[in-house]
Structure 1
């Protein structure tokens, strides 16, 4: 057998491959945008051996007390930088101080613990925030999709810390029985994992097609394979376990109510977590919540409507005295009317994905 190349030859090869990877180039761009916005990275070790990586706002470096601290939690298919890079400068300009962590088993955050529940994720994030030298005592929390599950548990378990909540396309009201009932495009958790953790180009194409209201028409296979290699091959076992714990045996009757004022934002054409789940959540929380339905948007609302989403987040956190602030969008009552008489069961590729 030929001898392996010496380290001096291997390192330039890896650097050359890195230069050829559009996904790694974009990843570096997102990281640079965090630095250029004034955020700085930190790694917070926890007593159980977990490490939470998060980005701190500029005010944290000076020890100043931020006017509007906000914790931003990413979704299942993203990391802190990929999810939130386009939002940093507008949020900072509005007076918000963003704390942006990687959830456990995403990005640079990890844990030796066996717990895969969103409650454990919430406990880790809360502990990391408390351990910061200039930690805010109270903060708003914004969670996208899976990050919304974690945000909900944060609000329930740590009401003294969470001031108010923004949940974006977060299907916290789903039940495992919904899979068998045909509410989603998948029939079981294993099929959901194969799409949400794509390892083949055809799986990623299907996921993108279901995630966007208007999916991109041109998706070269070389770019798809590069994205899968960089973004979808780490911690696959642990992330699959996160999905199983999230869905297995889940019942709406077990979901506690939270007391914080909550803004629920949903894409009208969401086929990952259909709007029915947003209506459920509004009914579950009652008068402490508002539901805003954004037209011409799917589950990837942060990609399809970033300016609109950013405006909603800023308004809700900066001016808590205003209850309903977006009269151009349909209220939850109007959304219910649109669903009256329609079947929740969809077919084939038009069915929403979990």
Structure 2
């Protein structure tokens, strides 16, 4: 099904831009530019909030691997930020759609918020949806956020990782590589383990692992409708995320995600920073039982797990408004409690 099929009221020119091959960043950037006003006007509580009082900035910067990385920041105008929040987005996603609303909400509560698109995702360079090395992706995140931390506006402020789904795995790996660099992490439905029914059958998995050595970029992994499983409400709005990667996972990407979740499961005891873990009890995309295991096994002295009854995977996008508001309240309360009179460890 073409990406524009479920979108109503767009003209043929816009439809052509959206339906273009988005394997490379220029096509994704054209689509976002042509569509961003429509995206941010959709009827969703994340976008129904004013942006007055926020200083927003977008930029592209070439990293040490020669990849042009897109990033964005949201900073309160009227007072210094209480802390700096560094977002790690989920698989296939970008920081310019639903996460735009998430960032606005957190920033409007007095925080400086920073986000980037990983190489191969969103508006950053790279083959769309391709992760050649998860460790390499984590290193790209560390490199970018180290530069952001040099910003005089936030230097010395408490700094927190915010990881959603696969971004939870990114945040945990960042912490494991930089164990003393962060004041805490907020993990929303973290991908510490992919739910069993999202895997292909064992024998097919073994075949795909073998084929990945020769065809790493191929889209051969059986596709599951993640939006259908991740969103309890607002499923139709996922079509507006026009630069999200929605095709079958590439073989190497799937293998890297599998290996990463297995590594994180083995290393839960090494997690030592203050934690807020949020998970829907009805999540069938990432396994809430592993969030429970993370809470129990992490060596952090300061840790909190909140499970939301009947909630699905997309806690901040795909739930009824009252659930989304409750999750945000839990996040802001935790941040306020952990940002008072603290500096970098």
- CA 1:295–1:52: 2 relative to 1, 3 Å: same
- CA 1:116–1:268: 2 relative to 1, 3 Å: same
Of 162, 165, 182, 2:182 maps to 162
Is 283-292 or 206-215 further displaced after alignment?
Answer: 206-215
Look up the match of 2:303: 289
TM-score (structure 1 length as normaliser):
0.66
Of 199, 203, 208, 2:227 maps to 208
Look up the match of 2:136: 120
1:107-136 CA distance string (max 9 Å, x none): 122359x97343322221221122246163
Of 300, 306, 312, 2:324 maps to 306
Is 84-93 or 68-77 further displaced after alignment?
Answer: 84-93
Q: Distance in 2 between matches of 1:290 and 1:273?
A: 18
Q: Distance in 1 between matches of 2:185 and 2:175?
A: 8
Look up the match of 1:328: none
Of 57, 61, 82, 2:74 maps to 57
Q: Distance in 1 between matches of 2:180 and 2:309?
A: 35
1:57-103 CA distance string (max 9 Å, x none): 336x99x9632110122111321022312223332221111101112
3-state SS of 2:96 partner: helix
Larger Cα-atom Rg: 1
2:306 matches 1:317: no
For residues 46-85 of structure 1, the aligned pairs below 5 Å read: 46-58=63-75, 66-85=81-100
Q: Distance in 2 between matches of 1:257 and 1:38?
A: 37
For residues 139-288 of structure 1, the aligned pairs below 5 Å read: 139-172=159-192, 174=193, 182=196, 184=198, 186-187=200-201, 206-213=225-232, 216=235, 231-232=244-245, 240-248=251-259, 250-251=262-263, 252-254=265-267, 257-286=270-299, 287-288=301-302
Look up the match of 1:337: none
- CA 1:28–1:215: 2 relative to 1, 3 Å: closer
1:154-205 CA distance string (max 9 Å, x none): 1121234321001111132x3xxx88xx5656435569xxxxxxx9xx956x
Structure 1 unaligned segments of length 5 or more: list them.
1-11, 192-198, 323-354
Higher helix share: 1
1:234-292 CA distance string (max 9 Å, x none): 8x77x542321121382533556122101111101111113211111112215442110
3-state SS of 2:283 partner: coil
TM-score (structure 2 length as normaliser):
0.68
Q: RMSD in angstroms over aligned alpha carbons?
A: 4.1
- CA 1:19–1:232: 2 relative to 1, 3 Å: closer
